Structure formats: structure tokens, C-alpha cells
Amino acid sequence: MISPLVAVTGASGAVGGRVAARLARTGVPVRLLGRDPSRLPRLPGAVLAPPAPYGDGEAMRRALDGAHTLFLVSAHESPGRVLEHTTAVGAAVAAGVERIVYVSFLGAAPDATFTFARDHWHTEAHIRVAEVRHTFLRDSWYLAGLPAMTGTDGVLRGPGGDGRVAAVAHEDIADAASAVLLDEGTGHDGVTYDLTGPEAFTLAEAAQELSRITGRPVRYVPETREEAYASRAHYGAQEWEVAGWVTSYEAIAAGEMDVVSDAVPRLTGRPAEGLAAYLRENPDSWRHLLPEA
């Protein structure tokens, strides 16, 4: 019996690439979609679709023709991201896709503090009323983001206050997503899974863990909103993008990220990875914090 075709978007990225590799190893037919196929991984048995930007409905429809399931990784943040998502969903329905597994964000809501989480809610709302089976994977902050957002000066700064976040590993997201995608039953239909790490911690506690693993002082400096905008002004990013950066911390301060779910162990059959274990196993993530040799 031939397994249904799974179309994977975002396969050049951290989540989509991991999921695509896992599916390919199982022998499931996989088609990889992307704006630029030259950036997509070459995986045994996986087929590369022609260029298919999310916002190009006709290109997406052609790329999804014959697919049973669409693994939809959210598009890169932009003012038009919701329209891109809804166009892709419409193309999937037109192509006859029967199921969409969408990577959303924890606490997605129309009034979420984190502005990008609002985009996810609007996308979810559109998928809910589409004529398609669906599952939402709402992941928390990435564990990889904590060392990445810590400067070479050993400072993690932002308006996160004393709030807590149960950050999650990319590997755990990919394993959970793969478990859902490989299950051809209906048990995941209409279900929303919060994908988190095993414990919620403050950013000050994260800095302490970074200090222990790197052997150098790392500290968390809480900022006001005004200080957060000022400290990020030198990037020259557009206002909507900086607002997303700043409000991601404010969502922690507001208590909207203080969620610990058992979805990862339930879906994967093993515990979710915590911060200490992640840092031990991924030294490249914090190597920039070490003094130059």
C-alpha cells in the first residue's frame, strides 16, 4: 500500500528541514515546496516542487496537486504574512489537499501581546473554516533563541520582567510534528497541541544556566518598552519587525508564555528536552559567548 503524499513547506528552515528529513527516512512520499527550490535539501525519495511562493496561489496549487497532507510552516514575518498564509490554504483546498498541519505559536489569539502570534491566530481561524482536516502545533519560544539573543557582552536584554517561558527544542517540535504527520488516522483532527519544554523558567534563570555552561558571567537585564526599542534601533529594522521582537519578551512578562504542556512526550514517547540538556548538547549555540582565543 502506497502512503499518501505529504507536501512540506519551509524545508530550508530549522523546523521544516528536520521534518522533511524524518519523513524521508520513513519512506513516506514527500514533496518539498519553497520559493527557491535551489535552497531546498536533497533527500532520498523526496521530490522538489517548482518555485511556489505562499502568496502565489496558482503556483501553490500546482505544487500541491496530488498531495494528501500539507505541512505548513509559517512564512517569514511580514506585514502581508496572513494574506500569504490564506492564499496558500486556499491553494491547498483547490488542489484537493485533505489535511493541513500548521505550525502556529503558543498563545495565538487576536489580542495576543506578541504581535506575530496574532498572525497565527488569524491563519488558524481561516484554516478552521476551510473544507480541510487540520491540526495546529503551537510551539513556544525556541531554546536555540536564548543563547542567540544573548550578546557577545554576555547580556540577555529585553522587557521580559520576571515572567517564565517553557522554551522548546527544534528537535522536539520536529519529532512531534512527524508523529502527527505519520498518523493517517483522524485522532489529531481539530486538535491544537502546545509544544513546550519540560519546565518554565525566567530569563534570569536562563542567563544563570548560560553562565554555568560557558564559564563566564552572563546576566539578564530587564528593559522597559522604551529601552527595548532604543537598544534595537541600531538594526535599522522596520517598526513592525521591532514591535514583534519587543512584544515577544512582553508576552513573557504578561504571563502568556508560562505554559508547560505534556504534548511533546505524549506525541513522541519521550521527555521533552530542557534548557540545561540543550546547552550541553549544542555547544555551537553559545560558542559566540566564549572569550576569543
pLDDT at 2: 59
CA-wise closest residue to 158 among 237, 222, 231 = 222
pTM of the full predicted structure? Answer: 0.96
Q: Tell me, what's the pLDDT at 3?
A: 74
How far is Cα 70 from Cα 91, in angstroms, rounded to an integer? 11
Which three cell numbers, joined as nine digits, stand for 89? 490554504
Cell triple for residue 120?
497565527
pLDDT for residue 139: 98
Residue 219: predicted pLDDT: 97
Segments of the chain with pLDDT less than 50 = 1, 293
Max CA distance (Å), the chain: 59
Residue 77 to residue 119: CA distance in whole angstroms:
9
Q: How is residue 3 annotated by DSSP? A: P
* Overall CATH class of domain 6-140+170-195: alpha beta
Q: What is the pLDDT of residue 184?
A: 86
- The per-residue pLDDT for 51 is 96
What pLDDT, on a 0 to 100 scale, did the predictor assign at position 293? 38
